[in-house]
Amino acid sequence: MTSPATSPIALVTGGSSGIGESTARALRARGFTVYAVARRVDKMAGLAADGVHTFAMDVTDDASMTAGIARIIDEEGRIDVLVNNAGYGSYGAVEDVPIDEARRQFEVNVFGLARLVQLVTPHMRAQKSGRIINISSIGGKFYEPFGAWYHATKFAVEGFSDSLRMELRPFGIKVVLIEPGPIRTEWNEIARDSLLERSGDGAYAEHARRAHAVLTRFDEPSRASTPEEVADKIVKAATVSRPAARYPVGRGARTITTSRDLLPDRVFDEVVSRTYGTR
């Protein structure tokens, strides 16, 4: 093992694009030694050229995650910040989405995140400090048609993180949730394309196509924020002395989460139904 690091060490999952790539760059600019991981190393060539350590990690493969954490500890002697960013959205009517696909969303969005928490926690406890930053979504606070499995994973991340925050507080480890609203990344394209693939024909076709149009509009600059805006909030969560428990970020994020807290279910159902054309 090398001598203990002098700069803080951060691990960012899902580092090949979007929020993960922007976060790796932003943390590097703030003086962190950054490890960015994803399934495809070739997509992180730009990060590697800019001084970010990159290697392959599959958050659905336990051996891959275990080896990755062991490598960082061997090379640096510690891990100060874990950014659990890897995740995806696969949409479609509950009736149409195969259970295997539902399980895969949970494996990536919840169980991979949780396993990395298990792997880094002993090291953070030993050093009596650390930050675990879990990328949730405003989708962990509200709901929309055809996103049941995705929203279920993000509701799970919210509850998991809140409980984890209580457990780890006595050991000097802080747990923070980041709740992005619409962000201009490939996430939206993947989600809406899967919606048409699964429910574009059949009983749900008309409503699914209306929802697809709504998701497409969320890519417009006037409606969506940039990955860099989310990265800035993650850097704040990683560096301030007393981070908030959660940070909504992006256009409309705080408005939506506040509305969900304040409006009765029947009223919120009506708002969502009108927005997505499923009335």
Average pLDDT rounded to a whole number, residues 82-86: 98
User: Is-catalytic flag, 247?
Assistant: no
The torsion region of residue 179 among left (phi > 0), alpha (psi -120 to 50) and beta comes to beta
For 78, 124, 173, 241, the CA distances from 128, given in Å and listed in that order, are 11, 6, 7, 14
pLDDT at res. 4: 52
Q: What is the pLDDT of residues 165-206, one digit of tens each?
A: 999 999 999 999 999 999 988 888 889 999 999 999 999 999
CA angle 169, 175, 177 (to 5 degrees): 150
Whether residue 279 is predicted with pLDDT greater than 80 in this model: the reply is no
Please count the residues of the chain: 279
pLDDT at 150 over 80: yes
User: What is the pLDDT at residue 5?
Assistant: 56
Please write the tens of the pLDDT for every residue from 196-243. Answer: 999 999 999 999 999 999 999 888 888 889 999 999 999 999 999 999
Q: Which sequence spans correspond to the domains of the chain? A: 9-276
Q: CB-based contacts of 98: which residues, under 8 Å, 6+ apart?
A: none
pLDDT bucket at 1, cuts 50 / 70 / 90: very low
User: What Å distances lie between residue 76 and 41, 214, 223, 230, 249, CA to CA?
Assistant: 20, 46, 41, 27, 31
Q: Is 2 a residue whose pLDDT tops 60? A: no
Q: What span, in angstroms and rounded, lies between the C-alpha atoms of 83 and 17?
A: 14
Q: Is residue 121 a contact partner of residue 173, using CB atoms and an 8 Å limit?
A: yes
Q: Which fold has domain 9-276?
A: Rossmann fold (3.40.50)
pTM, rounded to two decimals: 0.94
Tokens standing for residue 234 = 């993650």
pLDDT of residue 252: 87
Residue 140: CB atoms within 10 Å: 23
In angstroms, the Cα distances linking 59 to 65, 101, 106 are 6, 15, 11
Helices assigned H by DSSP within the chain: 18-29, 45-49, 62-76, 99-106, 112-127, 148-168, 186-199, 205-217, 227-239, 253-262, 265-276
Segment 109-117 shows an average pLDDT of 98
Predicted pLDDT at 277: 83
Angstrom distance (rounded) from CA 197 to CA 167 = 41
Catalytic annotation, pick one of 91, 143, 150, 276: 150
Share of the chain above pLDDT 90, in %: 89
Q: How confident is the model at residue 270 (pLDDT cuts 50, 70, 90)?
A: very high
Percent above pLDDT 70 for the chain: 98
On the question of pLDDT at 89 being above 60, the answer is: yes
Nearest CA to 250 out of 272, 233, 271 is that of: 233
Q: What is the pLDDT of residue 68?
A: 98
Question: CA-CA distance, 12 to 26, in Å (whole number)?
Answer: 11
Please check whether residue 19 is in contact with residue 227, taking contact to mean a CB–CB distance below 8 angstroms.
Answer: yes
- Residue 259's Cβ-side half-sphere holds a number of Cα atoms within 13 Å equal to 16
Mean of all residue pLDDT scores within the chain: 95
Greatest Cα pair distance in the chain: 62
Give pLDDT, residue 220.
Answer: 83
Predicted pLDDT at 58: 98
Average pLDDT score over residue span 115-130? 98
CB-based contact 140:157 (threshold 8 Å): yes
Crossing angle between the packed helical segments 148-168 and 99-106, to the nearest 10 degrees: 30
Give 3's pLDDT tier (boundaries 50, 70, 90).
very low
Q: Where is 80: in which H helix or E strand? A: none
